[in-house]
Structure 1
Amino acid sequence: MKPNHRRCVSCRAIAPKPNLWRVVRQHDTGTVQLDQGLGRSAYLCPTTSCLSMAQKKNRLSKALRVSVSETIYQQLWQRLQSSSSLETGSNRSMTQS
């Protein structure tokens, strides 16, 4: 089966859907949440440059057509930090062996 591709709202790169973060505006409530739900979605590369540009230029709010709270950005920054620390840890274990 052919993978679904989506475009990052920040850098405009096209990537397979599982490689991007999904931010969703719920259809029934209009609230914004991460990863799942029914409604309008925006996708973002899990990189520092894309996240900082999206926050600085308000790209998620424009794509979702609703204001995105600071807590969503904080959750994304935490997710980015945890993924980079996992990568750093795996790189260390590879260099030590």
Structure 2
Amino acid sequence: RLDSWDEFFKAERWYAAFEKNGLDPAFYANRTRPYDEVMPWDHIDYMVSKAFLIRENEKAHAGIPTPPCREKCSGCGANKCLGRACFPEVTA
């Protein structure tokens, strides 16, 4: 896990770079984005539909969990890319 590797992380360098380039990090990190905004990762094909991500975001804000894929298919769209069910033993 890489979530606690901070011995080389220098936050002040990042803030200096933001300031030097006239960028406000809060604009990128702390605002609600409209669903039709182009996201930095939209060009990546990660086998999950944007409609699914929007539904998941709305569910997350409502505190509604999504069951694990092996228990119940949530309709993310990956099966279309795979050409088959992600987990054949699971039904929708």
TM-score relative to the length of structure 1: 0.22
Tell me which protein shows more helix as a share of its residues: 1
TM-score (norm 2): 0.23
Choose 1 or 2 for highest CA Rg. 2
Larger relative strand fraction: 1
